[in-house]
Amino acid sequence: MQRVIIASTLILLVAVSLSQPAAGSDFTILLDGSQFRITWKIDAMQNLTAFAKTITFPQNISSTLKGADLTAFASTLQNTLQAKVATIQISQPTISLSSNSVNATCSNHCPFQWLNATIAFDIHENPVQANGLGEYDMSWKAIRVEDNLQVNGTAFNTLGETYLLQGLASFFPTPTTLRTFTVKIGGLLVNKNTYQDPTGKIFLLDTGAFQTPLSNWVHTQDLESRTQSWTSPQNAGFNITANQQITEVGFQTNLYYFAAARMSGEISTSMNTFAQKDVLFVDFSNGLWKTVSATLILVIIGILIVTVILERRITGQLRQRRKGSKAR
């Protein structure tokens, strides 16, 4: 029992040594006039170093991208977006990064390591317009930036290939009756022969999980502020979990390790929009389209009512004529 208490204490020490609490990660899109304003916050965290004794996130960063680094980021981001929607142009891109440092030789109560990114940019998209409605292709909301982006010579985007592959290698020792490991990547159970591919595809800048069509997102309206929003039913990001199970003299202890970033997705607009599949329709007619649509609906209803009335009258007249013919 004493060994179980000691192991549990070690896990508790890991938890309380958190240097910076994880904030909520999110990818928010605001339709402002004819452009979209994007704010992208990512808060990643890991404690794999406590076992792996290797650096699994870029360390000790506190920078806002400038010069060639910012140009490379902006160019890569625009190319990635244009692969989804060719008419997209981005402007005002900014990205700030921060991370703490950990000692790779630390013991089991190593502090967690965090990596934060704050990104903002505007998107201009040429919508298809017809009858006062603009059609915006929103498939670009699901993107994965795969380039090896850097800040002052340090890679920050290719987390899987640059850092996590090496960090996970030590989690696949030869199993024994006393110690076993269970490793999952994105919920998928992996082993020493299969972990490389999904790990190598982990990127910091990844909203690929937002590929669900916009009309299938959770839709809410705020009549007081005259705004509406769509929230993604899935979270984007990555998730690696590793469980070390130790069995000694009838006692069993579990030590947990992880590396993860999880973000929600939300699109906000005024009340003059609606979604069909992955297209956002915007009324540019100052309400004329809604008025015309409502008028057409009323006209159709009126025609149906008149048709029903005429049909009943004609049917009644025919019945009376038939009765008159029989009476003769």
Tens-place pLDDT, residues 65-90: 999 999 999 999 999 999 999 999 99
Q: What percent of the chain is helix, strand and coil (3-state, nearest 5)?
A: 30, 35, 30
Cα–Cα distance for residue pair 50/105, rounded to 1 Å: 8
Tokens found for residue 10 = 């070690």
- The beta strands (E) that lie in the chain are given as 25-32, 35-46, 62-64, 89-99, 113-124, 128-130, 133-137, 150-151, 154-155, 179-185, 188-190, 218-222, 227-231, 236-248, 251-270, 273-276, 279-283
Of the candidates 56, 72, 50, 45, the one whose C-alpha atom is nearest the C-alpha of residue 237 is 45
pLDDT at residue number 170: 92
Whether 10 has a pLDDT exceeding 60, the answer reads: no
Residue 100, strand partner residues: none
Alpha-carbon gap, residue 157 to 166, rounded angstroms? 16
Report whether 205 contacts 157 (CB < 8 A): yes
pLDDT at residue 312 tops 90: no
Which residue, 125, 133, 130, is CA-closest to 37? 125
- CA dist., res. 33 & res. 282, Å (int): 10
* Tally of CB atoms within 10 A around 24: 9
pLDDT digits (tens, 9 = 90+) for 202-237: 999 999 999 999 999 999 999 999 999 999 999 999
pLDDT of residue 206: 97
Query: Mean pLDDT across the chain, nearest whole number?
Result: 85
What is the torsional sign of CA 20, 21, 27, 30?
negative
Model confidence at 253: pLDDT above 80: yes
Tokens 């982990």 belong to residue: 202
pTM of the model: 0.80
Region 179-190: what's the mean pLDDT?
94
- How many whole angstroms separate alpha carbon 168 and alpha carbon 195? 8
pLDDT in the model for residue 12: 37
Using alpha carbons only, give the angle 185, 174, 257 rounded to the nearest 5 degrees: 35
Lowest-confidence segment of 47-51, 140-144, 256-260 by average pLDDT: 47-51
Is it the case that residue 1 has pLDDT exceeding 60? no
Q: In whole angstroms, give the CA distance from residue 203 to residue 206.
A: 6
- Which conformational region is residue 208 in: left (phi greater than 0), alpha (psi within -120 to 50 degrees), or beta? alpha
Domain ranges for the chain, please list them: 2-284, 288-328
In the three-class reduction of DSSP (H, G, I as helix; E, B as strand; rest coil), residue 2 is classed as helix
Bridge partners of 95? 119
In this predicted model, what pLDDT tens digit does every residue of 74-131 receive, in sequence order? 999 999 999 999 999 999 999 999 999 888 777 666 788 999 999 999 999 999 888 8
| Digit-coded pLDDT (tens) for 20-54 | 434 468 999 999 988 999 999 999 999 998 888 88
d(CA 89, CA 229): 23
| Residue with tokens 């006062």, as numbered in its chain | 132
Question: Cα Rg for the chain, rounded, in angstroms?
Answer: 29
Is 8's pLDDT higher than 70? no
Q: Which residue has the higher pLDDT, 19 or 151?
A: 151
